[in-house]
Amino acid sequence: MPTLEEKVTSLEETNAELVAEAQALQAVYQQTIGDIRSNADAVNADVRAAIPTAVEDELYRAIYFDPINGDDAAVGESHAPLKTLKAAMDQVPAGGVGIIFTTENNSTITIDEDISVVGKAIVWRFNGAIVNASAKIRIQNGTLKASYAIHLNQDVNYFIQHHSADIRLPLLSLSATNSAEGLFYSPYNGGNVSLPGSHHSNILITGNIGDMSSQYYVFSPLYYRSSIVVCSHGLSVGTNVDLFDPTYGVLQVSNKNVYLVGA
């Protein structure tokens, strides 16, 4: 039968062991928490570093298409091009910039579905292309700029409809069927039209527009209170082609091919 002193001693030893175990567990816990915090900091740092890259990769894109061998279910890279220009332009998100390439120069490109460019910037980088257009491109608060001149065969009434747009269209040639009354059209696409300039666009067009069998206007409006700054440097036009629909009022800047246009 242990004495009271022996029991006290045993309890003290047991208590000391429990304290030691608790301290050891606390040390492990603190180490684990420290590791978790360290790992969390590392993960957060990786995420913070990855987000701008991911956003930039999504918003600034080089997209390839091949009108002959492409596939609109592909990713749109040089080794896996899309098939249509519409699919390539649709891949660019609002707020983004898309540089659109063909895999080969002098490609024949068909536009047979309307394409919308809303709040994004598109750059065409196809050289010597022939564009057969039986549908429209509609640009609202967006940019469309061709780096190289194209051959345009137009079989749609007004190829480009613009509303607050920035456009550059160099032409090797333009021919149009009787269904086409003009090239650029300023329609009412919504928004406040109560003040002049609410439909304002900036457009540069160069190159050659051929003879037409009936009256053809390069620029036409639908509603009043639209405005454009037009640069037509080096533009030549054929028979029955006028630069501006008579609805527009036009002010030429000095003797330059720059015009302030309003309706």
- Exposure class string for 123-147: b at 16+ Cβ within 10 A, else e: bbbbeebbbebeebbbbbebbbebe
Question: What CATH number is attached to the domain comprising 114?
Answer: 2.160.20
Q: Answer whether residue 40 is part of any domain.
A: no
Q: How many CA atoms lie within 13 A of 245 on its CB side?
A: 20
Q: Answer whether residue 6 is part of any domain.
A: no
Tell me: the pLDDT tens digits for 134-187? 999 999 889 999 999 999 999 999 999 998 899 999 999 999 998 899 999 987
- Residues in Cβ contact with 200 at an 8 Å cutoff, skipping those fewer than 6 apart: 164, 226, 227, 228, 229
Residues 227 and 165: beta-carbon distance below 8 Å: no
Helix (H) or strand (E) holding 44: helix 4-59
Q: Answer whether residue 37 is part of any domain.
A: no
**Which domain covers residue 229, as residue numbers?**
61-262
Tell me: the pLDDT tens digits for 121-130? 999 999 999 9
Comparing 255 with 8, the larger pLDDT belongs to 255
* Region 15-30 average pLDDT: 69
What does the alpha-carbon distance between residue 3 and residue 12 come to, in Å, rounded to a whole number?
A: 14
- How many structural domains are present in the chain? 1
Residues 71 and 79: beta-carbon distance below 8 Å: no
Q: Answer whether residue 41 is part of any domain.
A: no
Q: How far is CA 152 from CA 108, 111, 128, 174, 218, in A?
A: 10, 11, 10, 5, 13
What does the alpha-carbon distance between residue 84 and residue 66 come to, in Å, rounded to a whole number?
A: 7
Distance between start and end Cα atoms, the chain: 114
Q: Answer whether residue 245 is part of any domain.
A: yes
Q: How far is CA 95 from CA 60, 92, 99, 163, 226, in A?
A: 9, 8, 14, 16, 24
